[in-house]
């Protein structure tokens, strides 16, 4: 196959450019923390590093309680269970599968709401239509770190007597109307997976101002133990390890620097793709704090020289491993596509956006020169679209 720019045979990048290549922070400082951890011989279960991490995250976000956990999926499960959600819970269909699975895992039905194509977040006009006597809550997702309309969702939740929480997996260090994400709803859940700009290898955190909920989740993440020999809830093992907290603390020291690089990369892509027909770079509100961790393109196949999937193929052939997050939508993944076979009828915008989105590599390991080359690949492929199509067809 040759989908490379004409005249070249090798991929433009000898090593793959990944979406989600982890940031590393100050390696020496991280190793110092790990060395201290070895000296203390305290590796997990509420060690000093986890305590410091929870305190600093809570302060950073401006909430009373931060409960560090081993990943955001378990974090969502714990928050959902502690909040007493059951029956049906409304979530967007356009999200990572974990949002839906955290409910289904507990035999709660995720009811998929369509999205607003401008924001990629839940369409408020659709939310109310989905409320039934079985509905107990709403989980908004701040897609790409761009906040949901939290005020309007809170108003609906209050009026309809529903619990409201947020999957803030993408939104650490982002704000809404000047207030940090993390302080909205009953609780919010961050993901600190290695692919996030700020991470703890694997990890996450539940943040809340609710004392009772925080205490309950704190016990639930440790099997429900209250003291050495007493279990008072059904619990699980959701604990964050010390080595993970060491990574988080190290990256927290560098969070502004990482965001500055993400922003620089974002601007470089914007410049590089300026005027490219049929392609829109998803924007961040400059009045808010943003982490700029996702470079999201929307490719309009009717106007762009190549459609989204063709562009992905071209980029992959050049070792640029662009992703189709979150295609094809949760409702088209199992078990949901079998359980709710007609869900797509109510999700036209989810389907449309899922067919258009293409996410490009960014982060500390990507340079402006890399970005210029990625944009050049896209432009060159567009200029030679027929050749590219033939090459792709012949694979
Ligand atoms: N809610 C939402 C809205 C989410 O987006 C997520 C997770 C969650 C909840 C649940 O959070 P966690 O339980 O994970 O904390 C990734 C991540 O696994 C997932 O955390 C993330 N969202 C989702 C958007 O993306 P994949 O399947 O794309 O990740 P993976 O492991 O294939 O890595 C992506 C690329 O990064 C690869 O091409 C290779 C590169 N990579 C990855 C790792 C782990 C590296 O270069 N080094 C690495 O160490 O799902």
Q: Using alpha carbons, select from 5, 33, 56 the residue that is nearest to residue 380.
A: 5
Cβ(315)–Cβ(378) below 8 Å: yes
Task: Report which ligand 1 atom has the smallest distance to the Cα of 95.
Answer: 3
- Atom nearest to 18 CA in ligand 1: 38
What pLDDT is stored for residue 391 in this prediction? 86
Measuring CA to CA, which residue among 98, 66, 99 is closest to residue 165?
99
What is the per-residue pLDDT across 68-103, written as a single tens digit (0 to 9) for each? 999 999 999 999 999 999 999 999 999 999 999 999
Tokens 């977040």 found at: 121
Answer whether 121 contacts ligand 1 (Cβ < 6 A): no
Ligand 1 centroid, distance to 22 Cα (angstroms): 10
pLDDT of 284 reads 97
Can you give the pLDDT at residue 4? 55
- 319-333 as b/e: b if 16+ CB within 10 A: bbbbbebbbbbbbbe
Q: Is residue 195 within 6 Å of ligand 1 at its C-beta?
A: yes
- The alpha carbon of 233 and the centre of ligand 1 are apart by a number of angstroms equal to 31
Ligand 1 centroid distance, CA of 383 (Å): 33
pLDDT at res. 2: 46
CA of 262 to the centre of ligand 1 (A): 17
**Of 239, 236, 251, 174, nearest to 205 (Cα)?**
239
Query: Which residues of the chain are modeled with pLDDT < 50?
Result: 1-2
**Global pTM?**
0.96
218 lines ligand 1 (CB under 6 A): no
Nearest CA to ligand 1 atom 46: 21
Tell me the percentage of the chain whose pLDDT exceeds 70: 98
pLDDT digits (tens, 9 = 90+) for 140-154: 999 999 999 999 999
Q: Is the CB of 321 under 6 A from ligand 1?
A: yes
- Residue 281 CA to ligand 1 centre (angstroms): 21
């Amino acid at each position: 196959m040759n989908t490379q720019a004409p005249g070249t045979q090798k991929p433009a990048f000898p090593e793959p450019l990944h979406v989600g290549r982890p940031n590393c922070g100050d390696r020496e400082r991280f190793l110092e923390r790990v060395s201290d951890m070895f000296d203390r011989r305290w590796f997990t279960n509420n060690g000093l590093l986890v305590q410091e991490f929870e305190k600093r995250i809570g302060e950073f976000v401006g909430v009373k309680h931060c409960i560090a956990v081993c990943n955001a999926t378990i974090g969502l499960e714990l928050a959902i269970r502690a909040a007493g959600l059951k029956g049906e819970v409304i979530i967007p269909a356009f999200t990572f599968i974990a949002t839906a699975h955290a409910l289904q895992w507990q035999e709660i039905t995720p009811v998929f709401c369509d999205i607003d194509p401008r924001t990629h977040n839940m369409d408020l006009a659709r939310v109310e239509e989905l409320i039934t006597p079985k509905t107990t809550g709403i989980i908004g997702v701040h897609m790409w770190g761009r906040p949901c309309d939290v005020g309007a969702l809170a108003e609906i939740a209050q009026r309809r007597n529903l619990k409201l929480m947020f999957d803030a997996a993408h939104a650490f260090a982002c704000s809404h109307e000047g207030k940090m994400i993390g302080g909205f709803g009953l609780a919010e859940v961050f993901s600190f997976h290695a692919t996030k700009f700020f991470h703890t290898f694997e990890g996450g955190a539940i943040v809340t101002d609710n004392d009772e909920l925080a205490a309950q989740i704190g016990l639930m993440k440790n099997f429900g133990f209250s003291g050495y020999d007493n279990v008072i809830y059904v619990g699980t093992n959701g604990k964050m390890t010390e080595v993970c907290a060491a990574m988080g603390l190290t990256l927290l020291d560098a969070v502004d620097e990482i965001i500055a690089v993400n922003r620089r990369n974002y601007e470089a892509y914007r410049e590089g793709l300026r005027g490219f027909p049929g392609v829109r770079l998803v924007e961040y509100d400059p009045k808010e704090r943003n982490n700029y961790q996702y470079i999201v393109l929307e490719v309009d196949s009717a106007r762009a020289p190549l459609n989204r999937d063709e562009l992905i193929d071209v980029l992959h052939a050049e070792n640029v491993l662009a992703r189709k997050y979150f295609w094809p939508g949760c409702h088209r993944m199992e078990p949901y596509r079998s359980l709710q076979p007609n869900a797509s009828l109510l999700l036209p915008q989810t389907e449309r956006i899922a067919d258009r989105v293409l996410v490009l590599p960014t982060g500390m390991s990507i340079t402006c020169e890399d970005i210029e080359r990625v944009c050049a690949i896209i432009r060159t492929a567009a200029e030679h679209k027929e050749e590219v199509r033939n090459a792709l067809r012949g694979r």
